[in-house]
Structure 1
Amino acid sequence: MLSYNTKLRMGFIGAGFLALIIGFSSWISSRNLAVSKDWESHTFGILSKLEKLSAAIRESEINLLSYVSTRQRIHVQNYENSKLVAIEAWQELKAQTGDNVEQQLTLNKIEKAFLKRDQLIHEILDHPGDAERIKARIIPVEEEMKHLAEDLKQRESKLLVIRSSDSKTKMMIAEWILGISFLFNIFVLVVLYKFLNNEYKLRAKTETDFFEKNTLLGLIMDNMADGVVVLDKSGSRILLNDKSEKLLAESSDLLISLDNLKSKQGKLVLKPGTAEEQIILANGTTLNDREGRDLGKVFLLSDITLEEGISNEKEIYMREMLMIKTALDCVSSNIMIADNDLNVVYTNKSVVNMFQAAKENIRTEYPNFSPESLLGSCIDSFHVHPEKQRHILSTFNFTHKSSISIGGREFNLSADPVIDEKGERLGSVVEWLDVTERNRKEFLINQLNRDLEENVKKLEYANKELEAFSYSVSHDLRAPIRGVDGFARIMLEDFAPKMEPEAVRLLNVIASNSKFMGQLIDDLLGFYRVSKVEPKADRVDMKHMVMDAIEIINQEYQYDKIDTRISDLPIIRGDGAMLKQVWLNLISNAFKYSSKSQHPTVEIGYLSGEKDKTFFVKDNGVGFNNQYTHKLFKVFQRLHSNEEFQGTGIGLAIVDRIIKRHGGEVRAEGKIGEGATFYFTLPNKD
């Protein structure tokens, strides 16, 4: 709904806009009319110049004829004067018709004909004897000039008719606009009169209504139970009702206290410490005009002496209740309180959250269940046999425990009676515990324990078989292999000169293979022992261990020509014997696979990390294809044939098993023809 001022402003803006449009239209119309009149006058001027041109041509023709008949020179002079007048008229026409191309072309033709006639006339003057002959040539030229001049007159006459009509039309438009402007002014005067008249009537009615309402307001305020005080912005009183007058009579400081009130609401104590003490609740608000300027304050004063006494008792009670509720909301137990009719009267946050998590399961049995609507619902709805549960909860005097299943969820319940100081039962407090997940995990744990016991039995049986197998390998299998190796070497030493070369070769193969078989058995037993023995946590000097490993390898294989570079290595915690086996296997592999390089080099180093230590052995040997890295640490997996490099295929598997027993990892990088790098990582231990 638009305000009165807005409507008034919009009305004046609309009237002003219409007046502006009418004024602008009037100005445009007047301007167009003036332009039209100018063009009309312009056409009259051209017609006048055409008459002047035609008269000059006729006069020059008369002077020519007079000269031909009388031969008097005065007529020649008159001819020249007429010619000058004609030229002047032509030039003026040329200038005034610059906007009309067609008229310009016609004037050019008149000029050519005029010049041609003038040339023929001068021939008559120069040859009077040929005057008749030349005169016959002049006649067609003069006819052409007259015809062209007549064409000019006709075209200008048509233009005059058009421009006169346009001028009349614009004159009529101007008159219409003037009439509309006059009518608009009358309309504005009528509207203004009606507006002022309505304004006068409205003001008179408003004043009457204001007087009546003001009288009614005074009666209402004087009959109010509460006091009303209105102060101006300086703190002086403007209005007080009867109740306020009485309060002011009882306490002269009332107005000062109200003016000093800091907030919109406050309590004032009148006659404090006496039997007549009163507590007044003052509700104040600021009075502002429409522009937001401060006009003062209005206060509503209520005597709350009686209510304040009752309120203090309620406040203590509510504070205690709030403390109890807050405490119950803070505990992790799922608490629900029901009255004697078993209707839920309180639920703490934990029980609501519990039901919120289980609501989808519960809704399979109770589709309309909602954790938010527990308050007011009956506990009977959660039990298949509510009569039994109702009997228990209405008669029990001690803690009662039970369990229920709802929608596949399992709950343990612990109920206690709520009894007041008089011994009357007020209801029951029930603690809910969702044990669905706990029961599921207990079932899974029991199942896993049964599976684990079964697997342990299988593992114990497998270990016993493995021990029997390792014993058999280390005793029963090793002895025949040693015998084969010993007899083969005896035959080679004692009978080789007497034997065929092929027989000698075959004995060498037997001796070599039996030695390889013995080494393979030793490696397998070593791999088994690594899996069985628990790693120690000794203090191990890694650099000293590497030096010992290199010395042992060089004593057996003579790799002392290989350039070996050893960085500073730290002291760690681990099983010394196992870690020494790691260094022996990795360094011997590096020596073996780089021995055929032109300049064999092996680098042994260390990388420090926050959580672990990484050691590496790098060589520039034959290397390997990285896509087969996953095979390196498997038993019997080799990337080179035994003819190229001897080995059992168990050494790196032992390395992998030892490092993993220490909680670390092993990895390798390589490139064919450029060497390989083997890393093993051990966790930092104090």
Structure 2
Amino acid sequence: KIREKHRLEAKELLAKVTGSVTDMLYALDKNLKYIYWNRACEEITGISSKDVIGKHVTDVFSEDETTAKAMASYRRVLLKGKAESAIFEYEHGGETTILEIHIYPLGEGISVFARDITDHMNAERKLEIERKKLHKILDCIPEGIYLIDESYDIDYANPALIKEYGLIENKKCFEFFQGFKAPCPWCGIDRASSSQPARWECSFEKSGRICELISIPVSNDDGSISKLQILHDITKIRTYQEEVERMNVELEARVAERTTQLEAVNKELEAFAFSVSHDLRAPLRAVDGYSRIIEEDYADILDNEGVRLFGVIKRNIKKMDQLIIDLLALSRLNRTELVKSKIDMTGMVNSIFHEVITAELRDKVKLTLKNLPEAYGDSVMMKQVWVNLLSNALKFSSCRELIEIEVGGYSENGINTYYVKDNGVGFNQKYESKLFEVFQRLHSSKEFEGTGVGLSIVQRIIHRHGGFVRAEGNEDHGATFYFSIPER
């Protein structure tokens, strides 16, 4: 009785143990009929033990390819008495379960231990798909890419690298690229971390190429760290940079040479300006003086034609003198140092307008002076700009019964823009670029006096302030002249 009790207790304990196992555990006799079917079998297959025990395998499962393979494995273990393992896919309820099966001899029958590895296999399959995608991506990248392990062995090389450097067969990176027997002394692989890839530049002695290397750590399943190496060939870039540096050196030498030449030319221009100011104007003044003496002392013997001719002489002397003055002013602009300060443009324009307007025009001029932004520049030069622009507006509008002049300005994106608008004779817009060229005139001197230098002086001054000028006009419908300079 005691022995029977122990046997029953042992049987009950075995049933509890096998029943609590989360993996499938079942047994078959020598005729492949089920003699045991644990709870995990019921949960995974959805088939209760009462529907299995005593039945043949083919009575429980359909005779498909998977069942045939399983029965073949069962028979081999029964025949040879040796354990065997296999992986089978089990279809049930429209779902596929992947089982890892271990078959063991058990007396005249067999015991089968089966583990559901569906999730694991699906994860591996997804991982394999991702690996293939990654390889496709790496295979398409034109840069050379390779993977090395902790021993510097090259585990993978993409087609771009193989195309440029040849096949890589079980070689270490320093051996393959450099022909070295040890890691390159400049190698930056150890500097790479998960948050910061390493980047360095090196020269490959075997190929003569200069490359930039980027090393990115890659964690492996076994805990080891591989490095994904991206190889960017910068040989051409470095060659171009060296060429640019060489050209820069040559350019600097040329600039220095040209600067010396320009300094010499400027000195010659200064000497010429001095000559023009003194040597050329002196005889001009003498001609003017003697012509006046002749006109006064011999007035009683000069006929009307003689008086007219002396008038022509005096007018041309005056014109020549003004031309010399304008040319001197233009030449001095490049040599005069800018002395910048804040300028009240509204006050300056108001003051200059009353200086340049003549008594005969004062009663027929309507000036509209709008608020002008405060400027930052050389006040002497800026005064010359306003003198020239306002004088031009008055001169080319003098033929109107009512002269209308508008002066305004605005600030935009750090640039101050000012304008002078008149209702004068205007100009053809296609000739705008000629307006600011020296000696270029769109109207004859008989119509309007002038030397053709005034607007050139305006442009030169504004350019020296880092700005620009432009003009808009229509023939017989007035003109507007703009100039723009930085706020500071």
TM-score range, shorter chain: 0.5 to 0.7
SS at match of 1:573: strand
SS at match of 2:350: helix
Structure 2 counterpart of 1:441, from 234, 241, 247: 241
Matching residue's letter, 1:454: R
Tell me the distance in 1 between the aligned counterparts of 2:99 and 2:290.
125
Which runs of structure 2 are paired with 1:254-653 in the superposition (5 Å)?
288=93, 344-345=154-155, 369=163, 389-390=178-179, 393-394=180-181, 398-399=185-186, 402-404=203-205, 410-411=209-210, 434-458=234-258, 459-533=262-336, 535-554=338-357, 559=362, 561-653=364-456
Give the aligned length: 369
SS at match of 2:446: coil
Deviation of the 1:565 alpha carbon: 1.3
Matching residue's letter, 1:499: L
SS at match of 1:678: strand
Tell me the distance in 2 between the aligned counterparts of 1:652 and 1:220.
114
- Describe the shift of the 1:298–1:626 C-alpha distance in structure 2 as closer, same or farther (beyond 3 A): closer
Tell me the distance in 2 between the aligned counterparts of 1:433 and 1:298.
50
Alignment partner, residue 671 of structure 1: 474
Deviation of the 1:448 alpha carbon: 3.5
SS at match of 1:516: helix
- Describe the shift of the 1:446–1:537 C-alpha distance in structure 2 as closer, same or farther (beyond 3 A): farther
SS at match of 1:411: strand
Q: Runs of 4 or more off by more than 6 Å in structure 1?
A: 220-224, 235-242, 283-286, 296-299, 301-304, 334-343, 377-383, 429-433
Query: Structure 1, residues 126-185: CA drift from partner, whole Å, max 9, x if none?
Result: xxxxxxxxxxxxxxxxxxxxxxxxxxxxxxxxxxxxxxxxxxxxxxxxxxxxxxxxxxxx
SS at match of 1:496: coil
The structure with the larger Rg is 1
Mapped contact 2:437–2:455 kept (Cα < 8 A): yes
Query: Structure 1, residues 384-428: CA drift from partner, whole Å, max 9, x if none?
Result: xx8xx52xx11578448645596xx941589xxxxxxxxxxx99x
Structure 2 unaligned segments of length 5 or more: list them: 1-27, 55-87, 103-112, 114-119, 121-137, 139-143, 188-201, 214-225
Structure 1 unaligned segments of length 5 or more: list them: 1-214, 243-282, 290-295, 305-310, 312-328, 360-367, 415-425
Mapped contact 1:228–1:300 kept (Cα < 8 A): no
Mapped contact 1:492–1:507 kept (Cα < 8 A): yes
Deviation of the 1:485 alpha carbon: 2.5
Matching residue's letter, 1:442: E
Deviation of the 1:498 alpha carbon: 3.9
- Describe the shift of the 1:602–1:343 C-alpha distance in structure 2 as closer, same or farther (beyond 3 A): same
Tell me the distance in 1 between the aligned counterparts of 2:383 and 2:154.
73
Tell me the distance in 1 between the aligned counterparts of 2:380 and 2:32.
110
- Compute the TM-score of the two structures, normalised by the length of structure 1: 0.44
- Describe the shift of the 1:395–1:529 C-alpha distance in structure 2 as closer, same or farther (beyond 3 A): same
Matching residue's letter, 1:369: K
Tell me the distance in 1 between the aligned counterparts of 2:300 and 2:48.
143
Mapped contact 2:373–2:411 kept (Cα < 8 A): no
Query: Structure 1, residues 174-223: CA drift from partner, whole Å, max 9, x if none?
Result: xxxxxxxxxxxxxxxxxxxxxxxxxxxxxxxxxxxxxxxxx99x949889
Deviation of the 1:441 alpha carbon: 2.7
Mapped contact 1:485–1:514 kept (Cα < 8 A): yes
Tell me the distance in 1 between the aligned counterparts of 2:173 and 2:32.
59
Tell me the distance in 2 between the aligned counterparts of 1:399 and 1:544.
69
Deviation of the 1:287 alpha carbon: 5.0
Tell me the distance in 2 between the aligned counterparts of 1:660 and 1:537.
14
Matching residue's letter, 1:491: I
Matching residue's letter, 1:507: F
SS at match of 2:299: helix
Tell me the distance in 2 between the aligned counterparts of 1:435 and 1:542.
57
Tell me the distance in 2 between the aligned counterparts of 1:575 and 1:241.
110
Deviation of the 1:569 alpha carbon: 1.1
- Describe the shift of the 1:375–1:563 C-alpha distance in structure 2 as closer, same or farther (beyond 3 A): farther
Mapped contact 1:344–1:374 kept (Cα < 8 A): no
Matching residue's letter, 1:616: Y
Higher RCO, 1 vs 2 (CA within 8 Å, ≥6 residues apart): 2
Q: Which one has the bigger strand percentage?
A: 2
- Describe the shift of the 1:454–1:397 C-alpha distance in structure 2 as closer, same or farther (beyond 3 A): closer
Tell me the distance in 2 between the aligned counterparts of 1:585 and 1:342.
78
Instruction: Work out the percentage of aligned pairs sharing the same amino acid.
Output: 36
Deviation of the 1:299 alpha carbon: 8.8
Matching residue's letter, 1:682: I
Which runs of structure 2 are paired with 1:25-44 in the superposition (5 Å)?
none
Mapped contact 2:174–2:183 kept (Cα < 8 A): no
SS at match of 2:342: strand
Deviation of the 1:589 alpha carbon: 0.3
Deviation of the 1:239 alpha carbon: 7.0
Tell me the distance in 2 between the aligned counterparts of 1:611 and 1:222.
94
Deviation of the 1:593 alpha carbon: 0.3
Tell me the distance in 2 between the aligned counterparts of 1:526 and 1:405.
67
Tell me the distance in 1 between the aligned counterparts of 2:376 and 2:90.
79
Aligned-residue CA RMSD (Å): 5.3
SS at match of 1:465: helix
Tell me the distance in 2 between the aligned counterparts of 1:405 and 1:505.
93
Tell me the distance in 2 between the aligned counterparts of 1:297 and 1:341.
42
- Describe the shift of the 1:237–1:619 C-alpha distance in structure 2 as closer, same or farther (beyond 3 A): farther
Alignment partner, residue 230 of structure 1: 43
Which runs of structure 2 are paired with 1:43-192 in the superposition (5 Å)?
none
SS at match of 2:181: helix
Mapped contact 1:481–1:514 kept (Cα < 8 A): yes
Q: Which one has the bigger helix percentage?
A: 1
Asked if residue 658 in structure 1 is aligned to residue 461 in structure 2, the reply is yes
Tell me the distance in 2 between the aligned counterparts of 1:516 and 1:634.
19
- Describe the shift of the 1:522–1:376 C-alpha distance in structure 2 as closer, same or farther (beyond 3 A): farther
SS at match of 2:163: coil
Deviation of the 1:586 alpha carbon: 0.9
Deviation of the 1:475 alpha carbon: 2.7
Mapped contact 1:562–1:600 kept (Cα < 8 A): yes
- Compute the TM-score of the two structures, normalised by the length of structure 2: 0.60
Deviation of the 1:682 alpha carbon: 2.5
Query: Structure 1, residues 416-459: CA drift from partner, whole Å, max 9, x if none?
Result: xxxxxxxxxx99x9987624213313322431342343244233
SS at match of 1:591: helix
SS at match of 2:357: helix
Deviation of the 1:590 alpha carbon: 0.5
Alignment partner, residue 67 of structure 2: none
Mapped contact 1:538–1:574 kept (Cα < 8 A): yes
Deviation of the 1:585 alpha carbon: 0.9
Mapped contact 1:618–1:676 kept (Cα < 8 A): yes
Mapped contact 1:582–1:655 kept (Cα < 8 A): yes
Tell me the distance in 2 between the aligned counterparts of 1:298 and 1:241.
22
